[in-house]
Amino acid sequence: MNAPASPNPPPRIDAHLHVFAKASAEFPREVSDHLPAEREAPVERFLERMGSHDIDGAVLVQIGGTSLQHHAYLLHCLRQHPERFLGIGLVPPRCDDASGHMDRLVEASDGRIIGVRLGALGGPADPFDAVDVRQLPVYPIWEHAAKKDLVIWLYPRAVDAHVIPHLFEAFPQVRVVFNHLMVCPGPKFWWDDKGRPQADVPMPPETRYSTMGLKIGRILYNTRGHYPYPNVCVKLSGHYAFSKQPYPYEDLVGWQQSLRMVFGCERLMWATDFPWIDVDPGYDKLVGLPQRTFADLTAHETEQLMGRTAAQFLRFPAFRDSSGWLTPP
């Protein structure tokens, strides 16, 4: 039986988005064809969206470079709005001091950067080869996340999908948030004429057999049919990048129902992936998408999906109060 809705208004949290300034001496960042120096998605624009749609908090994910200097705009936003935002940083590839870099990000943000985003994981290309997690290039990052209770923001490549359960087994204490519908993009990745990232992947994703079904000494699902790792969540976001249809992305509904069945709304987070959705289909459409996707959501499930899960799992300090939002479900 579902728990009743909280008597106190639960937080509404956008669990994944990007803000970035024009490239400048104050806010240096990498530039590219899809993120030219003059392009911007300023935090002020996002704050307007928050105000218009009653969004209480958000997770700002670094974009535009991996060095500490490239994080300048993210750090600025976190300092200016500490009660609204948490941050996710990036680690430079082939970093010789990943733990030191992670510590500097946390220190520079006064603890508001709570983890790092990972894509490439490394490991054998053959999914039947033995995996020694200690030899993975990302092992020091996961090890330090375990030591410092940092979050892994996971957006792995399809070629690395079979490595994921091995890392879960090695670091069961690390909080992990799968990005964008738990999809692992393959090599067919591009930016469209609206400046949005796109990935050509079959849906449901073939990598579901690796990330959700691989055996490592025990079956990843428990006898109730639920994912046994309480430290793993999935974000419902990035629909525009994978769907072959316009909003409301009906070809993705079946996969999202599967995620709901396996994880429950206690381990799902709603997110918009602003700014890529700001024009098409629009921020308001993303706020209403869960109700379009799941017509039978209960009040409790809606609370969890729209913010309570993020408040609990990511430990948003602004929402620590007597309602128990930070108490695990």
To which residue do tokens 């002020």 refer?
Answer: 44
What pLDDT, on the 0 to 100 scale, is given for residue 216?
34
Residues 54, 61: Cα–Cα separation, whole Å: 20
Q: What pLDDT does residue 125 have?
A: 82
What letter represents residue 75's amino acid?
Answer: L
Give one DSSP letter per residue of 75-133, joined into a string. HHHHHH-TTTEEEEEE--TT-TTHHHHHHHHHHHTTT-EEEEEE------SSTTS---G
Summarize pLDDT for 181-225 with one digit per residue, the tens.
Answer: 999 998 888 999 989 999 999 898 888 766 655 333 334 444 445
The torsion of the CA quartet 44, 47, 49, 51, rounded to 10 degrees, works out to -140
pLDDT of 207: 83
Taking the CA atoms of 263, 268, 272 and 274 in sequence, report the sign of the dihedral they define: negative
pTM: 0.92
Q: 166: which DSSP letter? A: H
Q: Can you list the residues of the chain whose pLDDT is less than 50? A: 1, 3-6, 214-224, 327-329
Q: In what order do the strands lie in the sheet with 13-17?
A: 13-17, 57-61, 85-90, 113-118, 151-154, 176-178, 232-236, 268-270
36: left (phi over 0), alpha (psi -120 to 50) or beta: beta
Beta strands in the chain (DSSP E): 13-17, 57-61, 85-90, 113-118, 151-154, 176-178, 189-191, 197-199, 232-236, 268-270
Taken in order of first residue, the domains within the chain and their CATH numbers are 13-319 (3.20.20.140)
